[in-house]
Structure 1
Amino acid sequence: MRKVLLPSLIIIATSLLLIRIFYLQVVDDTLKLKSENNAIKKKYEYPERGYIYDRKGKLLVANQASYDIMVIPREVKKTDTLEFCQLLNITKEDFIQKIAKAKVYSPRLPSVFLSQLNKSEFAAFQEKIRKYEGFYFQKRSLRDYEVGFGANIFGFITQVNERLVAKNPYYNSGDLIGQQGVEQSYEDLLRGVKGVKYVQKDKYNREIGSYKDGKYDTIAVQGEDINLTIDAELQKYGEELMLNKRGGIVAIEPSSGEILALVTAPSYDPGILVGRQRSKNYTELYRDSIAKPLYDRGLLAEYPPGSPFKILTGLIGLQEGVINEQTTFYCNHGFSYGRGRFMKCHAHPPAQQLHNGIYNSCNTYFAQAFMLTINKYNNPAKAVDIWSNHVKSFGLGQFMGYDLPTGKRGKIPDSKTYKKIYPNGGWRSTTIVSNAIGQGEIVMTPIQLANMMATIANEGYYYTPHIIKKIEEHKIDEKFTTKHVTTIDKKHFKPIISGLSDVFNLGTARALKVEGIDICGKTGTAENFAKIGGKRVQLKDHSIFVAFAPKDNPKIAIAVMVENGGFGAAIAGPIASLMIEKYLRQKITRIDLEKKILATSLQSEYAKLGGLSAKVKAQMRIRDSILNKKIAIPVVKVKIDTTKEKKQAI
C-alpha cells in the first residue's frame, strides 16, 4: 500500500499542475493581458470626473475636452524631429528630454509626451500624426470651472507623480489626480473608473482589430457627482468683501455642521490651474511668499482668538461654580494682579457682572473669573487641566476631522505645557491669566472659532464641520451626523447668549446691527507681531469677529479674521453682519457697511511686512497679474448642459 501511495500522489500532483498550466496558457488569457505582450496593445478610455454642485444644485465644476500626445518609446522610428517640434512649439532639447523620461518609465508602455493640447495645437498635429510612429492621441477631460471663486474649496487636477504610480496600481504615468480641496478628499469617487480596450497587432506592429472580439474590454464609468454644503452666492460675496485684505471667513450651519462658506484671502481664479499654463501659473502662485494665495487661512492660519475666547472663560466659570450671573467685579479700566502687572481694559462703568461684562468686553471681569477657576483646587496643574478639558470639549486644540485634506490643530495649553515653559515650577493663575482673554498660549484657526460659535448657538453641542452634502448612491460618513456634547451644562448657555445679543444692542457692535435680525456676536482684537529686519515689531492688530443668527433657532454661525485690520468692530464685524444678512435674506440693506468694506484696502499695511523692496514689488505684481486674471489660459472650451439629467458636451 505504501509503495502505491507515493507514486499516486506524484501522478495526481503532476496532473493537477499540467491542468493548471493548460488552463492558464490556453483557456485563460488574463495573464497574457497583464504582461507586456508585444502582440496586444492596451488602450485606456478615461472617464469624465464627477460634477460638483453647491447646496442648492448650482453647477460649480464641470468638464471640458482635452488631448494628450502619448508615446511608446520603442515604436518611435525615423521621426522628422524639426517638423515635429515646430508643430508643437517645443525645442529639440525638450523632445529629447521627454523621450528619455518616457524610456525610464517603460520603453514598451505608453506615457504622456505632451499634455493638454489646445484646440489649434490638436488640429495641426492631428493632420500629420500618421507620419510619426510611436505617437498617438489620448482623449481626456479637464475641469471646466463655471465660477471664478472657491479655488481653495475645489483644489485642482494635476498629473500623478512616479511615486504614486508605483504605489497605486490604478494610476499610470500621465494620469490625472485631484490635489487639495474636495478634488483630493473625494478623488476615489470623482475620478470614475477607466475603461480598457485590448487591440491585436500583427508582426508589423499594425493594429488588426479587437483582441478576442472585445471579450475583455471594459467601458469607462463616469465619476460620481457630489453636492457641497457651500452656498455659492455666499462664498462669492465673502470673497468680494475680502478683496485687498488677508484673512479668512468660515460660516457654518449650527444644526448640521455644514460649511456654508470657506473664504481665504487673497485667493485666485481656479481656471488658471487648467491647461498647458497650469504648471507655470501654479509656480507663480507658489512662489508668492508675501500674500500666499495657495495658503488656506480659514483652515491653516493660527491666531490668538482675543476677546471671543471670553465666552468660554465665562462658561467655564459658571460650570465650575466660581461665578454666577450676579457676581460683580469692579474695573477701573483695568486691574493689577501682582508684581507691578496691570491688565488694561476699555472705558465702561466700573461695576461689571456677567451680562454687561460680555457686551462691554471687560478684561477685568473675565481675568478675575479665570483666576478663580484656576485657584479653586489649590493646585494650578490640576485646575488648568480641568480648564483645558472644558475648552477642548468645544473641538479646540485638536484636528477637527472635517473632510478637507488640510488643517491645523491650534493650541490649548494644559499642565504639560507649563511644565515645559516653567521646568522649575512657580507658575500660578496670575502667570497665565492672559489666557482668560484669548491671548497667552492659546491659538485657534478661523474654522475652530466658527465651530465654537456654532456650539454656543446649539447651547452645548456641535457636529463635525463638513463640506459634503450629497453623493450619488452613497451615504455621508456617520461621523458628520454624530453629536458632540461639551462638558458645560446647557443651563449656562442662556445668560451667555443673552450677553452676546446685547453686544449688538448695547455693546461694542452697536453700529453693526441689521434691522430685523437678532444677531449674537463678539468683537475681538488680537495683538500682531512680526520680524522685520531681524527685529520683533508690533504691527496693527488683527480684526476678529464671531457671531450667529438669529438668536432663536440659529441658521448661521460665522468667524471672520482680517489680518492687520485693527479693532474687531472696524472690519471683521461689518463683514460678519453683511455675510449674515446675505445668507438669511439674499439681499443687503446695510449698504453703508458694504460700501465701506468694498472700499477698504489694507495693502499699505501688508507692504510693511516686507518693505517696498524691488523683490516685494515684483512679487506683488505677479500676484496682481494672477488675481486680476491677466494670464492667458489656452484650453479647449465646450458647451455643457448644466442640468443634472443631461451632462453631455454639445
Structure 2
Amino acid sequence: MRKTLLPAVIIVTSIILIARIFYLQVIDETLKLKSENNAIKKVFDFPERGYIYDRNGKLLVANQPSYDIMVVPREIKDIDTTEFCSLLHITKAEFIKKIEKARVYSPMLPSVFLSQLNKAEYAAFQEKERKFEGFYTQKRSLRDYQVNFGANIFGFIRQVDESILKKNKYYNSGDLIGKQGVEQQYEEALRGIKGVKYLLRDKHNKIIGPYKNGEFDTIAQQGKDLTLTIDYELQKYGTELMVNKRGGIVAIEPKTGEILALVSAPTYDPALLVGRQRSKNYTALYNDSIAKPLYDRGLQAAYPPGSPFKIITGLIGLQEEVIDEQSTFYCNHGANFGRFMGCHCGLHTLQLNNGIYKSCNSYFGNTYKRTIEKYKDSYYSVDNWANHVKSFGLGQFLGTDMPIGSKGLVPSSKMYKKWYNGAKIRSSYIISNAIGQGEVLTSPIQLANMMATVANRGYYFTPHIVKNIKDQKLDKKFVTKHYTTIDKQYYEPVIQGLEDVYNYGTAAGFRVEGMKICGKTGTAENKIRVAGKTYQLKDHSIFVAFAPRDNPKIALAVFIENSGYGATWAGPIATLMLEKYINGTISRKDLETRMLNGSLEAEYQKIENIIFQRRTEPTKVRDSIEKTNIEIGEAKKEEEQA
C-alpha cells in the first residue's frame, strides 16, 4: 500500500497541474488580455460624467468633447521630433520629459502624453497621426459649466496621481478623477464605468480587427446624473451679494436638512479649471494665500460665533432651570464677573425676551454663570454644558456629503483641566463662552444648522447637498432626525425673542413688511499678533436667522470678515437672501443696492499689508505670530486636516 501511495499522489498532482496549465493557456483567454501582449491592443472607451442639476431641474454642469494624445513608449519608432513638437507647440525638452515620465509608468502601456486638446489642435494632429508611430488620440469628455459660480460646490476634474493609481485599480495613468466638492464626494456615481475594446494587431503592428470578434469587449456605462439641493437663483444671488467681500453664506431647508445655498467668497469661475490652462490657473488660485479662493469659508472656516451663541446659552439656562422667562438681571452698561463684561444695553433690568432682542451681555453672562455654578463639581458642570451645546451639532463634523469641513471647538473639562492644572474651574474664568467670545469656535454651516434646529423646535437633519442620484437611494443618515437635549417647550420663548430682534431690536432697521423673520445679530473680535504687537482689526459681522416663524422654509448663517457690527453687513445680506427665497422678489431695494455695491477691499488691504510685513521680516519675527481669526494657512493643508 505504501509503495503505491506516493506514485499515485505524484501522478494525480501532475495531472491536475497539466490540466490547469492547459486551461489557462488554451481555453481561458483572460490572462492574454491582462498581460502586456504585443498582439492585443487594449483601448478604453470613456463614458460621459453624469450631469449636475439644481433642485428645480436647471442644468448646472454638462460635458464637452476633448482629446488626449496617448503614447506607448516602446512603440515609438523613427519619428520626426522637430515636426512633432512644432505641431503641438511644445519644446524638445518638454517632449523628452513627457516620454521619460510615460516610460517610468510603463514602456508597454499607454499613458497620456498631452491632455485636453481642443478641436483645432486635435484636427491638426489627426491629419498627421500616421507619421508618429507609438502615438494615438483618445476622446474624452471635460466639464462644461453652465454657470460661472458654485466652484466650491462642484469641485473640479484632474488627472489621477501615483497615490491614487496605487490604491485604486480602476484608474490608469492619465485617467480623470473628481477633486473637491461633489465631483470628489460622488466620484463613483458621476464617473460611470469605462468600456474596453481588445483589438488584434498583425506582425507589422497594424490593427486587423477586434480580438475574438469582440467577445471580451465591454460597453461604457455613462455616469449617473446628480440633482443638488442647491437653489440656482439663491446661490447666484448670494454670490453677487458677496462680491468684494470675504466670508460665507449657508442656507438650509429646516424640514429636510437640504442645503439651499453654499456661498464662499472670494470665489472663482469653475471654467478656469478646465482645459490646457487648468494647471496654470490652479497654481495661481492655490498660491493666493491671502484671499484663498480655493478655501470654502462656509464649510472650513472656524470663527467665534459671537452673540448668536446666546441663543444656546438661553436654551441651556431654561433646560437646567437656572432661569425662566421672568428671571431678571440688571445691566449697568455690562456686569462684573471677576472682570467687567461690557454691554451696549445701558441701564436696564432685563428678562429673557428683551435680553435676546437687545443682545445683553449681562443677561447671558449671568445665565451662563448660574449654569456652570449649578453643580459642585465644576468639571461636571462644564461637560454637562458642553453636551447640551454638542447636541446642536456644534464641536463636531456634521457628517455632510461634502469631503471637507471644520470640526470647530466646544471646550471640555479635559481641556480646562489641562489649562488650570486640575484646579476648580470658576465661571469667571470662562465667562466669555456665554456670549460666543470664549473658546467656542463654529463654522457657518454649523450655525446655519443650529438655526434650522431652533426653527424645528429641537431637532435637525444632517445637512446635505445632493437631493437625488439617478437610480440610487441617498444615505439613510440624511433622513434621520437628531434631537437636542433641550425640551421642546423651551424653544417658543426664545423664538419670540428672535422675532422681536426684527420688531424692536438690533435688526429692526432692515425688517421686511409682511415677513415674520427670527434672527440674531453678532460680532466676533478679530486680532492678529505680529512680532509681539497686537493689531486690532475690524470685527467679523455675523447674522443667523430663519423664516417664516411658523412652518419655516429656510434657515441661514452669514459671516462677513472684517466688516464690523452684525447689523452693518451680515444682517442686511441675510435678510435679502430670506426675502429672495421666500418671495422671489426684493422689496428692500435700499438694502440691495448698498450690499451689491458695497466693498470691503480697503479693509482687506490693511490685512495684506500686515501679512506682507510678516513675510519680509526675518524668520524669527514671522514665527512670533500667535493667532489670527482669518486663517492664512495653505488650502491644501487645511483640506487634509479637515
TM exceeding 0.5: yes
Residue matched to 1:620: none
Residue matched to 1:292: 292
Aligned pairs, how many?
A: 615
CA distance in 2, matches of 1:426, 1:320: 21
Give yes or no for contact 2:272–2:281 (8 Å, CA) kept in 1.
yes
Residue matched to 1:518: 516
Give yes or no for contact 1:532–1:609 (8 Å, CA) kept in 2.
no
Give yes or no for contact 2:334–2:346 (8 Å, CA) kept in 1.
no
Give yes or no for contact 1:258–1:467 (8 Å, CA) kept in 2.
yes
Give yes or no for contact 1:532–1:610 (8 Å, CA) kept in 2.
no
Residue matched to 1:259: 259
Secondary structure in 2 aligned to 1:178?
strand
Residue matched to 1:381: 379
Give how far 1:12 is off.
2.7
CA distance in 2, matches of 1:217, 1:613: 58
Give yes or no for contact 2:448–2:555 (8 Å, CA) kept in 1.
yes
Do the aligned partners of residues 533 and 284 (structure 1) sit closer, same or farther apart at CA in structure 2, a change above 3 Å counting? farther
Match of 1:505 among 491, 503, 513: 503
Match runs of 1:413-562 below 5 Å = 413-423=411-421, 425-532=423-530, 535-562=533-560
* One-letter amino acid matched to 1:517: M
CA distance in 2, matches of 1:31, 1:167: 22
Residue matched to 2:306: 306
Give yes or no for contact 2:48–2:63 (8 Å, CA) kept in 1.
yes
CA distance in 1, matches of 2:194, 2:143: 17
Residue matched to 2:582: 584
CA distance in 2, matches of 1:615, 1:310: 37
Does 2:7 correspond to 1:7? yes
Residue matched to 1:151: 151
Match runs of 1:57-76 below 5 Å = 57-76=57-76
Do the aligned partners of residues 534 and 177 (structure 1) sit closer, same or farther apart at CA in structure 2, a change above 3 Å counting? farther
Give yes or no for contact 2:331–2:345 (8 Å, CA) kept in 1.
no
Greater Cα shift, 376-385 or 549-558 = 376-385
Greater Cα shift, 116-125 or 305-314 = 116-125
Does 2:237 correspond to 1:242? no
Residue matched to 2:355: 357
Give yes or no for contact 1:412–1:441 (8 Å, CA) kept in 2.
yes
* One-letter amino acid matched to 1:582: K
Give yes or no for contact 2:191–2:222 (8 Å, CA) kept in 1.
yes
CA distance in 1, matches of 2:353, 2:425: 31
Secondary structure in 2 aligned to 1:297?
coil
CA distance in 2, matches of 1:567, 1:523: 8
Give how far 1:157 is off.
0.1
Give how far 1:554 is off.
0.5
Give how far 1:289 is off.
1.1
* One-letter amino acid matched to 1:599: N
Does 2:403 correspond to 1:405? yes
Q: Deviations over 1:417-463 (max 9, x none)?
A: 11121115253011111100001101100000000000000001001
* One-letter amino acid matched to 1:170: Y
Give yes or no for contact 2:339–2:428 (8 Å, CA) kept in 1.
no
Greater Cα shift, 413-422 or 219-228 = 413-422
Give yes or no for contact 1:396–1:444 (8 Å, CA) kept in 2.
yes
Give yes or no for contact 2:379–2:424 (8 Å, CA) kept in 1.
no
Give how far 1:58 is off.
0.6
CA distance in 2, matches of 1:31, 1:615: 63
CA distance in 1, matches of 2:249, 2:526: 19
Secondary structure in 2 aligned to 1:333?
strand
Do the aligned partners of residues 612 and 497 (structure 1) sit closer, same or farther apart at CA in structure 2, a change above 3 Å counting? closer
Give yes or no for contact 1:306–1:439 (8 Å, CA) kept in 2.
yes
CA distance in 2, matches of 1:369, 1:187: 48
Give 5+ residue unaligned stretches, structure 1.
617-650
Q: Deviations over 1:532-554 (max 9, x none)?
A: 56632110100000000000000
CA distance in 2, matches of 1:481, 1:123: 50
* One-letter amino acid matched to 1:111: S
Give how far 1:612 is off.
8.6
Give yes or no for contact 1:397–1:411 (8 Å, CA) kept in 2.
yes
* One-letter amino acid matched to 2:569: I
Give yes or no for contact 1:348–1:360 (8 Å, CA) kept in 2.
no
* One-letter amino acid matched to 2:297: R
Residue matched to 1:183: 183
CA distance in 1, matches of 2:33, 2:440: 59
Residue matched to 2:132: 132
Residue matched to 1:91: 91
Residue matched to 1:170: 170
Greater Cα shift, 536-545 or 10-19 = 10-19
CA distance in 2, matches of 1:513, 1:614: 41
Residue matched to 2:122: 122
Give yes or no for contact 1:243–1:598 (8 Å, CA) kept in 2.
yes
Give yes or no for contact 2:391–2:485 (8 Å, CA) kept in 1.
yes
TM-score, normalized by length of structure 1?
0.93
Residue matched to 2:323: 323
Q: Deviations over 1:87-113 (max 9, x none)?
A: 111001000100111100011100000
Q: Deviations over 1:282-318 (max 9, x none)?
A: 0000011110000000001110000000000000000
CA distance in 1, matches of 2:470, 2:239: 29
Give how far 1:512 is off.
1.4
Residue matched to 1:202: 202
Give yes or no for contact 2:334–2:345 (8 Å, CA) kept in 1.
no
Give how far 1:3 is off.
4.1
Secondary structure in 2 aligned to 1:568?
coil
- What's the C-alpha RMSD, in Å, of the aligned pairs? 1.5
* One-letter amino acid matched to 1:557: A
Residue matched to 2:618: none
Give how far 1:505 is off.
0.4
Residue matched to 2:282: 282
CA distance in 2, matches of 1:189, 1:567: 44
CA distance in 2, matches of 1:212, 1:287: 52
Give yes or no for contact 2:238–2:263 (8 Å, CA) kept in 1.
yes
CA distance in 1, matches of 2:355, 2:610: 43
Do the aligned partners of residues 416 and 187 (structure 1) sit closer, same or farther apart at CA in structure 2, a change above 3 Å counting? same
Give 5+ residue unaligned stretches, structure 2.
615-642
Give yes or no for contact 1:530–1:609 (8 Å, CA) kept in 2.
no
Q: Deviations over 1:466-512 (max 9, x none)?
A: 01100111110001111100101010001000100000001110011
Secondary structure in 2 aligned to 1:350?
strand
Greater Cα shift, 106-115 or 5-14 = 5-14
Q: Deviations over 1:97-143 (max 9, x none)?
A: 00111100011100000000122211211111110000000100000
* One-letter amino acid matched to 1:352: L
* One-letter amino acid matched to 1:296: D
Residue matched to 2:345: 347
Residue matched to 1:644: none
CA distance in 2, matches of 1:321, 1:426: 23
Secondary structure in 2 aligned to 1:553?
coil
CA distance in 1, matches of 2:597, 2:51: 35
Q: Deviations over 1:218-251 (max 9, x none)?
A: 1111000010100011001000000000000000
Give how far 1:16 is off.
2.2
CA distance in 2, matches of 1:533, 1:263: 34
Does 2:534 correspond to 1:566? no
Give how far 1:531 is off.
3.2
Secondary structure in 2 aligned to 1:579?
helix
TM-score, normalized by length of structure 2?
0.94
Identity, in percent, stands at 68
Secondary structure in 1 aligned to 2:263?
strand
* One-letter amino acid matched to 1:607: Q
